[in-house]
Amino acid sequence: MVLRQLVFFILILMAFPVLGQEQPEQAEGRQINIVYGANFTKDEENFPGASIFSKDDERQVQFEHQGADLWCDVAIFYNQENRLKAIGNIRLQQGDSIEMNSGKMDYDGNTKLAKAWENVDLTDGKMTLTTDTLYFDRENQLSYYRSGGKVVDSANVLTSIIGNYFMKLKKVQFRKNVHIDNPEYIIDSEQLDYYRLSKNAYMYGPSTIVGEEYKIYCERGFYDTTIERGYGVKNTRIDYNDRIIEGDSVYFDKTSSFASATNNIKVTDTVNNGVIKAHYAEVFKEKDSVFATKRAVAINLVQQDSLYIHGDTLMVTGKPESRIVRAFRNAKFYKTDLSGKCDSIHSEEKTGITQLITNPILWNLENQITGDSIHLISDLETEKLDSLKVLENAFIISADTIGKKGYNQAKGKNLLGKFIENELKIIDLIQNTEVIYYMYNDDDELIGIDKTICSKIRLLMANSDIEDITFFVNPDGDIFPETDLPEESRKLKGFVWRGDERILSKDDIFDEDDNNVELVKIRGIDNPVDIDTEEQERSGNLPLDTDQKPNATATKPKKTKVTNSN
């Protein structure tokens, strides 16, 4: 054994240059060191200038280089160039955590770059990366692959065509055909950065997350894979229960069954074919509820015509068959032949009743209708508008469109109206009723002004004009020539014409404040943010190169309390 070691020592002296004659291209202190050479030989024909070492019966060949050890079956070592080729059962160990195994490897001591291929795997004790070819840049503590790889940790299995593992940041940067498998969900993306400690994923390019009860699409976003919480900030969409949520920024939390959206929002009710648009909205899955504000509008299809409902705040609650729409403060609605406004609107799917509450006013074509409370009632089978109720102080006014002399008016305690094919055809005014009506002949010549009071009046309408009037129970009145009825007598008590307030289009439901609402500036929607800094902020400013588990939490908006009236 002593003789063998002596011979090996002599061969080493022959293989290496004289001490003090280090080659100039070798960086100072970067020389690869032989720890155990075992069997030594040379093959100048095939490997000129190289020393070849191979394992013996006791152990493998071992080298050391600046904090890393390498073991292999065979090593072809180019001392002057400070590089080696390792073959067979290779293990590269850096410190206590990083270990790389492969069938073959090239290692350059000057650049500290290793290229490994054939059944390559790299692990840091908590994560394993496998690929066919892996580059390990020890100088920058970066490993990367370009021909497909897989990363497995305690939570996820991640695959991609291109991958970079930044060891100090504990971050894997995936590119091209990125796929994450988890028992609870699947993620596909074109680009995804994954932090091993927090299990947080940052997505770029078209990306989808599919869970058991949801599907998320975005082109830039964040996702905490451990608790299924995240957000998208570019072309984001969430398919969530029976709703689709879209917006510039959409936040999602599976645990609380909560989602919110900011700027240019669209929430689609896939069951009732309704849409809510706003610049801020919250969705509560368990309560089947939506809260929306900032230029909020609910849009529903009624008889092939869209009904627009607006308020400073909108709330939609309840299961699809019992859904309730509420509009609070400055409520307005518009449909081609029907519009109105009031303090608040309450519309219930189950009863088919839409209530206009506090100071309501309704316009049906040219008719202005007011009262203390107004109810619009739909047929539950046909979903067509069926009838109208005006309770207390009912008043209907329309301008005299023929002679333009004044206003046709009718009032009573209550009003009952009947819609036929979406047009108000029959109006019954009940109790303490009064009428002022401009009467014309077939040549549109004014006959006189009818002014009558009685207990009940029925108006038959055609094209929004009064076609026929029927008086019930002791009518008292007359038809006055125009010259016999002074101007001050041509208006019933309580008359207020509000034609300048009439809502003539869907855009009229919004006031100046709605149209000038200032949108929140969404971080990262135009330009990518520094996600390493963001990750540190999100993880409580813990060092990313430690093994301490950060408290991974995504920033979420304060929820609005919603009570389901069902």
| pLDDT tens for the chain, residues 1 to 566 | 443 444 444 444 444 443 333 444 445 568 999 999 989 999 999 999 999 999 999 999 999 999 999 999 999 999 999 999 999 999 999 988 899 999 999 999 999 999 999 999 999 888 999 999 999 999 999 999 999 999 999 889 999 999 999 988 889 999 999 999 999 999 999 999 999 888 999 999 999 999 888 899 998 999 999 889 999 988 899 998 788 999 999 999 988 889 999 999 999 988 877 899 999 999 988 888 899 999 999 998 766 778 899 999 999 888 878 889 999 999 999 988 889 999 999 999 889 899 999 999 999 888 999 999 999 998 888 778 889 999 999 999 999 888 888 999 999 999 999 988 778 899 999 999 999 999 999 888 999 999 999 999 999 988 777 888 888 888 888 899 988 999 889 999 999 999 999 999 999 999 988 898 888 887 766 665 677 777 877 776 444 343 333 332 333 444 433 333 33
Q: How many whole angstroms separate alpha carbon 529 and alpha carbon 510?
A: 35
**Is residue 212 within a helix (H) or strand (E), and if so which, with residue range?**
none
Q: Assign 484 to helix, strand or coil.
A: helix
The pLDDT value recorded for residue 6 is: 42
User: Strand runs (DSSP E) across 421-445, as ranges?
Assistant: 423-440
Q: Assign 501 to helix, strand or coil.
A: helix
Label residue 129 exposed, middle or buried (CB < 10 Å: 0-12, 13-18, 19+): buried
What are residue 340's phi and psi, to 5 degrees? -175, 175
Cα–Cα–Cα angle for 393, 396, 399, rounded to 5 degrees: 145
Q: Tokens in use for 560?
A: 């609005």
Cβ-Cβ contacts under 8 Å for 233 (sequence gap 6 or more)? 218, 220, 221, 248, 249, 522, 523, 524, 525
Q: Assign 6 to helix, strand or coil.
A: helix
Q: How many CB atoms lie within 10 A of CB 21?
A: 7
Look at residues 258, 270, 205 and name the one whose alpha carbon lies nearest to residue 229.
258
Q: How many whole angstroms separate alpha carbon 424 and alpha carbon 411?
A: 16
Q: How many whole angstroms separate alpha carbon 322 and alpha carbon 425?
A: 29
CATH number of the domain to which 414 belongs: 2.60.450.10
User: Residue 459: inside a domain, yes or no?
Assistant: yes
For 33: left if phi > 0, alpha if psi spans -120 to 50, otherwise beta; the answer is beta
Cα–Cα–Cα angle for 360, 365, 366, rounded to 5 degrees: 85
391: domain range? Answer: 360-491
Q: Pseudo-torsion of CA 48, 50, 56, 61, nearest 10°?
A: -150
What total of structural domains would you count in the chain? 1
Q: Express the helix, strand and coil content of the chain in percent, nearest 5 each.
A: 5, 55, 35
Q: Assign 502 to helix, strand or coil.
A: coil
User: Residue 533: inside a domain, yes or no?
Assistant: no
The pLDDT value recorded for residue 540 is: 64
User: Residue 8: inside a domain, yes or no?
Assistant: no
The pLDDT value recorded for residue 125 is: 85
Cβ-Cβ contacts under 8 Å for 346 (sequence gap 6 or more)? 324, 325, 326, 354, 355, 357
Q: How far is CA 73 from CA 95, 117, 176, in A?
A: 21, 15, 35
Q: How many CB atoms lie within 10 A of CB 449?
A: 22
Cα–Cα–Cα angle for 312, 313, 315, rounded to 5 degrees: 155
Q: Assign 9 to helix, strand or coil.
A: helix
User: Residue 351: inside a domain, yes or no?
Assistant: no
Q: How many whole angstroms separate alpha carbon 78 and alpha carbon 178?
A: 39
The DSSP-derived string for 69-103 is EEEESEEEEETTTTEEEEEEEEEEEETTTEEEEEE
**Residue 235 · residue 229 · CB < 8 Å:** no
274-284 and 289-293 strand pairing:
antiparallel
**Residue 265 · residue 249 · CB < 8 Å:** no
The pLDDT value recorded for residue 4 is: 43
User: Residue 481: inside a domain, yes or no?
Assistant: yes
User: Residue 435: inside a domain, yes or no?
Assistant: yes
Look at residues 140, 96, 146, 97 and name the one whose alpha carbon lies nearest to residue 117.
146
Scanning 76-177, the segments in alpha helix (DSSP H) are none
User: Residue 181: inside a domain, yes or no?
Assistant: no
Q: How many whole angstroms separate alpha carbon 32 and alpha carbon 356?
A: 85
Q: Tokens in use for 461?
A: 């309408």
| Cα-to-chain-centroid distance, residue 127 | 30
Which neighbouring-strand residues pair with 439? 448
User: Residue 364: inside a domain, yes or no?
Assistant: yes
User: Please, what sign has the CA dihedral across residues 445, 447, 451, 456?
Assistant: negative
pTM over 0.85, yes/no:
no
Q: Pseudo-torsion of CA 411, 363, 427, 469, nearest 10°?
A: 70
The pLDDT value recorded for residue 300 is: 83
